Amino acid sequence: MDSIAFNRIVLIADNAPSEGLPNDLYYLDSDKAQSNNVSAIKSALETIANEVVFYDSAEKFTFNSSEHVKDLVFPYWHGEKSRNKQALVSAVCEAAGIRYVGADTYTNIICCDKVLAKDVCKMNGVFVPESISFNKCITVQELPKLKFPLIIKPNFEGSSIGISQNNLIISPDPHAVADKVNEIYENLGEQVIVEQFIPGKEISVSIIGWRNHIKVWGAVERYSPGDESYFENHLHSHQDKINDTILLRNTKHLLTDSMMSNLFELFDSLDKVEYMRIDGKLFNNKFYCFELSQDTTLAPDGAFFKAISFEGYEFKQAVELIVMNCLERYRNLYPNQ
């Protein structure tokens, strides 16, 4: 299948239960790879390689890493509570000289830290909402002058962990801001972001490629049936995801060449990322990025693959493209490896 073909792919994923997750705003397992998605990815990988080896923890893979020097690793492990969790598998692979799919350790660290990710966006001409952050509980007196409406969210979490509609503070109320900052910090013990709320269409852009070699990209809009203005004054909350009330539709036509040029520059600047989802809002003919998801959910019906499906790819074809794109990058940048 490729000039540096292999016999085995090593899939590392959490394999959390697909059903029965508690309706708990701070339940961290919500961000783990779910078993139904892991099964779909494993099935797709089995059409590419002769054998797929599965580990459900980074620790087990690390212990056996010497057995996989000639294999290709497909990380889909979101890990336990640690700000470094998504970077652990890539770090092990780099230390052991093992080829792997997706973001490298640097890119994982940058994208999982929303504060740092904003800086990378701005360096590449991508608009971001104004924000401040706190790494402790605060009093109202510690708040600077704020421009409402605001969203309060944890810095390191995904899957809308810690996000309810109460995180959107519309009326000027510094006490509500301080209370929400303190609630998040007390529950998660991590940096909390106070961010300008941008109204408009909520868009996810999906990209597969390496550096400036873009293989395919697409975009979807999240929308609420029967309420086209939902995201003008609502968040994509943890409850929305639990209830599965938000749908996706193709909106690639809404993104201008200028917007995409900046997003492609951002993608290129991250170097080894290979596939990612960029989430943001379209407002006043500008795209405002609020999250870089190098560890995007790889559910067949999720935003990442949905956008790629509108470009003519079935799920297994898209997974194969991700793998082949990774191999192409290695072949071109490291021909002697």
DSSP string, 83-117: TTGGGHHHHHHHHHT-EESS--HHHHHHHH-HHHH
The proportion of the chain whose per-residue pLDDT surpasses 90, expressed as a percent, equals 78
CATH topology of domain 110-127+199-329: D-amino Acid Aminotransferase; Chain A, domain 1 (3.30.470)
- Position 81 pLDDT exceeds 70: no
pLDDT digits (tens, 9 = 90+) for 135-177: 999 999 999 988 999 999 999 877 778 788 999 999 999 999 9
Query: How many other CB atoms are there within 10 angstroms of residue 286's CB atom?
Result: 15
Question: Which class would CATH give 8-102?
Answer: alpha beta
Tokens of 83: 């700000």
Distance CA 242, CA 247 (A): 13
Q: Which of 185, 174, 171, 170 is nearest to 135 (CA)?
A: 185
DSSP string, 125-154: T-B---EEEESS---GGG-----SSEEEEE
CA 146 to chain centre: 28
Identify whether the C-beta of residue 46 lies closer than 8 Å to the C-beta of residue 52: yes
Question: Which class would CATH give 131-196?
Answer: alpha beta
- Residue 15: the pLDDT is 72
Q: Which of 215, 210, 213, 237 is nearest to 224 (CA)?
A: 237
pLDDT digits (tens, 9 = 90+) for 170-217: 999 999 999 999 999 999 999 999 999 999 999 999 999 999 999 999
Which residue has tokens 């071109």? Answer: 332
DSSP string, 239-280: HHHHHT--EEEE-GGGS-HHHHHHHHHHHHHT-TT-EEEEEE
To which H or E segment does residue 205 belong? strand 201-210
pLDDT digits (tens, 9 = 90+) for 34-70: 788 999 999 999 999 999 999 998 899 999 999 999 9
Decide which of 78 and 227 is more confident: 227
Q: What is the DSSP letter of 164?
A: -
Identify whether the C-beta of residue 12 lies closer than 8 Å to the C-beta of residue 45: no
Contacts of 54 (CB under 8 A, 6+ apart): 10, 11, 12, 13, 42
Helices (H), 145-191: 174-188
- For the segment 257-265, the average pLDDT, to the nearest whole number, is 98
- Three-state SS at 78: coil
- Residue 267: the pLDDT is 98
* 8-102 against 131-196: fold identical: no
Where along the chain do its domains lie?
A: 8-102, 110-127+199-329, 131-196
pLDDT digits (tens, 9 = 90+) for 263-308: 999 999 999 999 999 999 999 999 999 999 998 889 999 999 999 9
- Position 97 pLDDT exceeds 50: yes
pLDDT confidence bin for 2, thresholds 50/70/90: very low
